[in-house]
C-alpha cells in the first residue's frame, strides 16, 4: 500500500531523516509514495521542472535479473509519448541505486477518486474516461508496447483528462506478483485469462483491463474482486466466471454496459479494438467538462496549492550517480513559450472533452475548459486550469508507487548533460557571443522551431523534442551565450511559417527538423540553410562487409517501411537489375530487424539515422547498417534570409563544435557517426550555393 498524506491531501509528504536531498540532478521536495519497486519522491530539476523519481529498493537493485528487466523496460517506456500517458524523462539504470524520473502532473489515481474523493463517476465522465484511455492505449500500442497492468491506481484523474502511468515498466516494477522466473505479471481482477495462463499477449490484453477499469469507475466495485477475495480466488473468477457489473438498470447500463461486457470477454479475439472504443466513446462523452463540478473544484484547489510547494535546500546527503561522481545538474531545456507579442504556432492536438465543434484546436478547447471550470468552481480552481503548465501530482496505491504525467510543453524529455555534449555550461565563457546580433544577445534566447519526427535526429517524446539536433542546438546556444528554446509545431510548413513570421518581429528564430538542403527546397521555403549533418538511405543486414549501395541489391529480398516513396526509391535504384528485388513492406524498424533475424528478408532499407540509432539502442542484434554514399545529402538549419549575421553565427557555432570534438561526441551518443560533416556550409535561400 502506498503512503498517503494525513487528511487525504494530494501533495507530497515531508522527507524523512533517511531520505536523500537529491537523486541524480534532481533536488527532492517530498515523498509521493512507496510500493513494490521502492520509494517515489517529488523532485525538481535545475530548470524548475517537477518530476516524480522512482528509486529502486536496494534488494531489487542487487538482483541481476531485475536490473536487466528494469533497464530494458525503461528504454522501451521512453518510446511512448502523448497527451494521455506519462513520459519517462530521465533515468540511471546503472548506478548502485537505480532510478527513473517521469513527468509530474496533478491529480489523484482513479481508485482514490472513487474510494474517498467522490464515489463512482457519472456516465458521461465514464465515457470520457473510456475515450482518454483508448487514446492512451493507442499511443502505447503504437510504440510496440503492451501496458500489462492497467488498473484504477495506474489511471490518474486530472483536469486535462485521464492519464495512464507505468506503461512499459510494469514487469520490472511489480514485485508483488512477479515470480522469481517472471512467469506472472499484473494485478488480479484486471489481468485477462491469457495473461493468467502465460499465453501470448496482444493489445486485447489492455482492452480487458480497460473494461474492468470502466466497470470500477461506474459502479465503485471491481467486476472480479468486489468482495476483497484473495488473489487465487480472483484469478479463478477471471478464468471461469462472468464479471459482476451490477443491476441491469444500475449505474452501469445500456450501451456503456454492453461495451464493458465486450471488453471483458474471455476470448481476446472477440474484444473490441482500441479504435472501436475511441469512436463510440467520442460520440457519447458529451460537450461539458469531463468531471463533476465538486471533484473539479477539489482538483483545482489541490493543483493551485502545489504551485507554492517547496522544500528546504539543506538535507541528508545527495545521491549522485556513481557513473559520474560530482556531476552538476544538466543544463535544462526551456519550454517553448514565445516572448510577449509573438505568436505561437497553431495547435492541432486532440481536444478533451472530445466533442468540441469541428475544427476546434487545443487552444480553443482549453479556453472552453477554462470557462467550464470557472462556471463550476471557485477562482482557485480556475487558476489551476488557466496555468500554461498544469502541475499534477499523484499517489499510488495497491502496492504501486506515486505516479505522474508530464506538463504539456514543459522542458525537454531528455536533458543532455555537459559531459555528454562536451560543451560549456551556462556559467562558462561563450566564445562566440559577439557574433550574434545585439537584439538576440540581449534577449538571451535562440528559438528553434521544430516539427515532424525524424528519429533519431529529431523526434518527439512526451510532446517534447529530443535527439541529436536538439542536443546540438543546446551546445551551439551555449557557445553563443544564449539559451536554446524549442517551439513544437505539427508539421514543417507551420514551423517554417512560425520562424519567418516571428523573425520579422524579433531576430533569433530559426527552423530545424532534418530539412534536406537542396536549391529547390531553399527557394520554395525562402530560407538560407546552415548544414549540420548528413543523412540518406542505407542498407541494414547481418553482413558487416556489405556495401550500403542500393544499386547492388539485385535479386535480394528487401524489407522496408510500408511507404510508397521509399519503395519507389528501392525500385528505381534497382531498375537496371536483371533479377528484380522482392519487397517486404513492414510498419516499423523492429519489424525489419525481426524479418532479417528470421531470414524472411536479406536486407532492410531505411534512413541511415533511423537504422543506426535503432541498432545503437538494441545492441546484440548482430546487424550492421551502411550508408549509401550516393544517397547521402546535407541536412540544414533554416535561417530567415534577411538574418545573415544570425545565419553566420549559427554556422560558426557548428564549426566550433566540430573542431572541439563536441560534434563527434553527440553523433556517437546518438549512434549515427556516419552522419558527420567536415564543415557547416552555408547555402542561400535563392538557390545559390
Report yes or no: 84 and 136 within 8 Å, Cβ to Cβ.
yes
Strand partners of residue 83: none
Q: Identify which of 530, 423, 436 has the alpha carbon closest to the alpha carbon of residue 482.
A: 436
Tell me whether residue 632 is annotated as binding: no
Report yes or no: 121 and 218 within 8 Å, Cβ to Cβ.
yes
For the chain, the farthest-separated pair of C-alpha atoms sits apart, in whole angstroms, at 78
Distance CA 80, CA 58 (A): 27
Strand partners of residue 163: 156
Contacts (Cβ under 8 Å, ≥6 apart) of 686: 522, 523, 641
Distance CA 81, CA 102 (A): 11
Strand partners of residue 162: 157
Catalytic residue among 139, 149, 174, 471: 149
Distance CA 41, CA 48 (A): 15
Angle at 624 between CA 618 and CA 629, to 5 degrees: 130
Q: Identify which of 101, 107, 167 has the alpha carbon closest to the alpha carbon of residue 390.
A: 107
What is the three-class DSSP state of 550?
helix
Q: How buried is residue 55: exposed, middle or buried, by Cβ count under 10 Å (0-12/13-18/19+)?
A: buried
Enter the C-alpha cell of residue 175.
Answer: 514485485
Structure letter (DSSP) for residue 617: H
Q: How buried is residue 511: exposed, middle or buried, by Cβ count under 10 Å (0-12/13-18/19+)?
A: buried
Task: Kindly report the backbone phi and psi dihedral angles of residue 568, in degrees, each rounded to the nearest multiple of 5, phi listed first.
Answer: -65, -40
For residue 47, is it left (φ>0), alpha (ψ between -120 and 50) or beta? alpha
Report yes or no: 176 and 36 within 8 Å, Cβ to Cβ.
yes
Task: Kindly report the backbone phi and psi dihedral angles of residue 501, in degrees, each rounded to the nearest multiple of 5, phi listed first.
Answer: -65, -45
Distance CA 90, CA 100 (A): 6
Torsion angle, alpha carbons of 623, 628, 634, 637, to 10: -20
Length of the chain measured in residues: 689
What is the three-class DSSP state of 502?
helix
DSSP 298-330: HHHHHHHHHHT----S--SPPB--TTSTTPPPP
What is the three-class DSSP state of 449?
strand
Q: Identify which of 82, 141, 201 has the alpha carbon closest to the alpha carbon of residue 587.
A: 141
Contacts (Cβ under 8 Å, ≥6 apart) of 273: 203, 207
DSSP 89-152: EEEESSSSS-EEEEE-B---BHHHIIIIIS-SPPHHHHHHHHHHHHHHHHHHHHTT---S---G
149 catalytic? Reply is yes
Q: How buried is residue 678: exposed, middle or buried, by Cβ count under 10 Å (0-12/13-18/19+)?
A: exposed
Strand partners of residue 155: 164
* Residue found by looking up cell 495462463 in the block: 197
Residues acting as catalytic residues: 149
Binding-site positions for ATP read 54
Amino acid at each position: 500500500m502506498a503512503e498517503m498524506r494525513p487528511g487525504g491531501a494530494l501533495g507530497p509528504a515531508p522527507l524523512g531523516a533517511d531520505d536523500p536531498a537529491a537523486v541524480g540532478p534532481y533536488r527532492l521536495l517530498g515523498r509521493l509514495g512507496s510500493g513494490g519497486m521502492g520509494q517515489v519522491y517529488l523532485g525538481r530539476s535545475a530548470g524548475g521542472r517537477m518530476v516524480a523519481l522512482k528509486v529502486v529498493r536496494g534488494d531489487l537493485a542487487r538482483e541481476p535479473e531485475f536490473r536487466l528487466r528494469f533497464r530494458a523496460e525503461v528504454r522501451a517506456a521512453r518510446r511512448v509519448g502523448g497527451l494521455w500517458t506519462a513520459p519517462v524523462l530521465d533515468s540511471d539504470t546503472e548506478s548502485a541505486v537505480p532510478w527513473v524520473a517521469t513527468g509530474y502532473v496533478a491529480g489523484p489515481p482513479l481508485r482514490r477518486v472513487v474510494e474517498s474523493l467522490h464515489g463512482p463517476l457519472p456516465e458521461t465522465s465514464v465515457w470520457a474516461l473510456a475515450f482518454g484511455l483508448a487514446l492512451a492505449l493507442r499511443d502505447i500500442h503504437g510504440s510496440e508496447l503492451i501496458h500489462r497492468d492497467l488498473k484504477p491506481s495506474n489511471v490518474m484523474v486530472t483536469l486535462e483528462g485521464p492519464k495512464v502511468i507505468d506503461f512499459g515498466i510494469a514487469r520490472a516494477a511489480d514485485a508483488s506478483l512477479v515470480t522469481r522466473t517472471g512467469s506472472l505479471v499484473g494485478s488480479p481482477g484486471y489481468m485477462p485469462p491469457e495473461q493468467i495462463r502465460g499465453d501470448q499477449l496482444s493489445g486485447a490484453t489492455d482492452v480487458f483491463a480497460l473494461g474492468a477499469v470502466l466497470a470500477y469507475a461506474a459502479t465503485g466495485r471491481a467486476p472480479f474482486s468486489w468482495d476483497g477475495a484473495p488473489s487465487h480466488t480472483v484469478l479463478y473468477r477471471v478464468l471461469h466466471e462472468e464479471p459482476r457489473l451490477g443491476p441491469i438498470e444500475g449505474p452501469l447500463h445500456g450501451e456503456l454496459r454492453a461495451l464493458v461486457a465486450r471488453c471483458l470477454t474471455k476470448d481476446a479475439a472477440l474484444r473490441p479494438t482500441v479504435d472501436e472504443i475511441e469512436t463510440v466513446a467520442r460520440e457519447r462523452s458529451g460537450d461539458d467538462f469531463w468531471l463533476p463540478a465538486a471533484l473539479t473544484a477539489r482538483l483545482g484547489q489541490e493543483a493551485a496549492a502545489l504551485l507554492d510547494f517547496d522544500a528546504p535546500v539543506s538535507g541528508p546527503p545527495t545521491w549522485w550517480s556513481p557513473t559520474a561522481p560530482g556531476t552538476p545538474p544538466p543544463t535544462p531545456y526551456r519550454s517553448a513559450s514565445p516572448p510577449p507579442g509573438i505568436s505561437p504556432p497553431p495547435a492541432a492536438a486532440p481536444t478533451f472533452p472530445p466533442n468540441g465543434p469541428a475544427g476546434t484546436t487545443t487552444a480553443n478547447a482549453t479556453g472552453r475548459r477554462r470557462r467550464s471550470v470557472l462556471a463550476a468552481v471557485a477562482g482557485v480552481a480556475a487558476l489551476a486550469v488557466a496555468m500554461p503548465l498544469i502541475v499534477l501530482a499523484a499517489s499510488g496505491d495497491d502496492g504501486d508507487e506515486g505516479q505522474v504525467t508530464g506538463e504539456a510543453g514543459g522542458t525537454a524529455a531528455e536533458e543532455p548533460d555537459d559531459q555528454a555534449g562536451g560543451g560549456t555550461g551556462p556559467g562558462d565563457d561563450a566564445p562566440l557571443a559577439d557574433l550574434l546580433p545585439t537584439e538576440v544577445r540581449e534577449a538571451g534566447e535562440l528559438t528553434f522551431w521544430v516539427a515532424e519526427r525524424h528519429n533519431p535526429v529529431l523526434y518527439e517524446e512526451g510532446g517534447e523534442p529530443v535527439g541529436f539536433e536538439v542536443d546540438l542546438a543546446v551546445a551551439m546556444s551555449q557557445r553563443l551565450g544564449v539559451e536554446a528554446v524549442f517551439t513544437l509545431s505539427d508539421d514543417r510548413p507551420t514551423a517554417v511559417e512560425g520562424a519567418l513570421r516571428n523573425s520579422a518581429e524579433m531576430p533569433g528564430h530559426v527552423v530545424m527538423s532534418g530539412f534536406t538542403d537542396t536549391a529547390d527546397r531553399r527557394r520554395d521555403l525562402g530560407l538560407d540553410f546552415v548544414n549540420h549533418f548528413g543523412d540518406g538511405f542505407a542498407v541494414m543486414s547481418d553482413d558487416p562487409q556489405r556495401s550500403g549501395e542500393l544499386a547492388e541489391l539485385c535479386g535480394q529480398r528487401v524489407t522496408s517501411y510500408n511507404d510508397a516513396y521509399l519503395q519507389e526509391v528501392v525500385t528505381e535504384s534497382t531498375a537496371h537489375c536483371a533479377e528484380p528485388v522482392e519487397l517486404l513492406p513492414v510498419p516499423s524498424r523492429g519489424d525489419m530487424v525481426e524479418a532479417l533475424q528470421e531470414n524472411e528478408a536479406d536486407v532492410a532499407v531505411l534512413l541511415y539515422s533511423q537504422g543506426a540509432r535503432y541498432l545503437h539502442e538494441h545492441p546484440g542484434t548482430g546487424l550492421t547498417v551502411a550508408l549509401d554514399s550516393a544517397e547521402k545529402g546535407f541536412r540544414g538549419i533554416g535561417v530567415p534570409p534577411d538574418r545573415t549575421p544570425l545565419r553566420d553565427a549559427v554556422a560558426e557555432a557548428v564549426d566550433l563544435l566540430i573542431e572541439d570534438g563536441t560534434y563527434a561526441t553527440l553523433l556517437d551518443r546518438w549512434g549515427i557517426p556516419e552522419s558527420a560533416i567536415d564543415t557547416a556550409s552555408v547555402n542561400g535561400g535563392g538557390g545559390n550555393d
